[in-house]
Structure 1
Amino acid sequence: MGRPPGHSKGYEAKKQEIIDTAAALFAKNGYASTGTTELGDVTGLAKGALYYYIKSKENLLVEIQDRVLEPLLEETRAAQSVDISAAARLRLVSEILLNMIYARLDHIWVYEHDYRHLSGKNLKKFLARRHEFEMIIESIIVEAMRDEQFLHSDPHLAMLQFFNLHNHTYQWLKPGTTRWTAEELSTTYCRTLFGGFGTPGLDIDAVEREVAAHHEGAQAAVGA
C-alpha cells in the first residue's frame, strides 16, 4: 500500500508501530484508562506528532478492530465457498478464528472489551461487520443441519455456543508457552462441539480428513 500524499517515506511503518503499541497498552490498561499522553510517552512522540499519525484516539481503536475483523471476514468468506462438507467448513472457520487469536492476542483483548467505546458510524460499521461474521457461522451450521450432519436445533444458539467455546481462549492463552497449536485447539474444540451438534451418523474423523486434504491442496497450490 502506498503512503498517503504528503506523508514521509516512513509514515506507514511508524503508524503500524503506533497501532501495535496502542493495542498492547489498551489490552493491559483498558482503552478508557490509556491517555494520549501515555501513548506519546511510550512511542516517544509529542502530542502533535502522535496525532499526525493517528488523527484521534478513537481512530486507533478503529484500526485495531480492523486488524481483527477484515482478515477474519475475508478468510471466512473464502472458507464458506470451499467444496467440502459444512461441518468441515465450520472446522476451517474455527481454525481461522484461533489463528487470529494466536497472532493478535492484544488486539483480541481490545476487540472483546473496548468496542463499546466506538461511537456513531464507527460503532455501526463494527457491529455490522461482526454481525456478518456471526451470520456466516450460523449459515454453515444451518447447512450442516440441512445435510443431516448436525441435529436440528436452534442454529442461532448453536452459533453462540461456537463462539462461547472459542472466544474465551484469549483469556488464558500465552503465545510461545502454550502446549497446543491453533490447529490442535480447533480440532479439540470442534470434536467437543460436534459431539453435541452431530447426528449419530456424523464421522468426526472424516471431517478431520476433509480439513487435512483441503490444507494439503491449498499448500500445493501455493507451491505450484
Structure 2
Amino acid sequence: MKVILVVVTIGLFGFLLGKFIKHKSLYPFMPFRYDFRKRRDTFRKTLEFLDKTKARLIIETGTSREGLHGAKSNGAATIVFGKWAKQNNAFLHSVDISEKSVANSQKEVTNQDLGKIVQIHLSDSVEFLRNFTEPVDFLYLDSYDYSDDREVQIKSQHHHLQEFMAIEDKLHDNSIVLIDDCDLPNGGKGKLVVAYMLQKDWKVVMNEYQILLVRKSFSV
C-alpha cells in the first residue's frame, strides 16, 4: 500500500512539475495564472522594446475576441498591450472586421478598465490602416484567421502584406512590428510580409511562433 502511495505521489508531482514547466506567464506584468505559452517570449521582448522606445501609439489588427481567457490560444494581445499602454500613457487602436469579435473584445476592455486607453474599431483593417494619419510606434499584425486550407493561407498572407504596405509610410526609425501565427504550415501569416520587409530596411529580432522585427538601425 505504501509503495502504491509513493508511486501515485511521484506521478502526481511529475505531472504538476510538467504543467509548471510548460506554464509561461508574463508575471509580474500580468497575473501568474495566465499562460501565454508560445507567445510569452516574443511578448516579453516586445514589451521591453516598448519601454525602451517610450512608444505612444499602438495599432493591432485582429482584436482579442476571447479577452484574457484566450491568453494561451490567441494571446489576448489587446489586453496585454492595452495594459502596457495604460501604464505608460500610450494609446492602442485595435481593428477587426467581425462584429462579434469587436463586441467581445470591447466587453473585456471595459472589464479591464481600459476603455480610455483602447479603442476598438469595426472596419476592414487594410482600409483602416490606409486612412490612418498618425505615426505608429508599434504595429501588431494578427488578422485574417489562418487555417489548413491552402487557399485561405494564401489569402491571409496577402492580406497581412497589404496591411503592412497600407501603413508602411507611418512607421519610423524606432517602430516595432510583431506578426502572429508565423510558425504554421506554408509559412504562416508572416510569410509574404516578412519577405517584403527584409528587402526593405528591416531585420528580424526573434523568429518563433511570432516574428518580431525592427529597423536595421535599431539598437537591440
Normalising by structure 2, we get a TM-score of 0.31
Q: Which has the higher strand share?
A: 2
Higher relative contact order (Cα pairs below 8 Å, separated by 6+ residues): 1
Larger Rg: 1
Normalising by structure 1, we get a TM-score of 0.31
Q: Which has the higher helix share?
A: 1
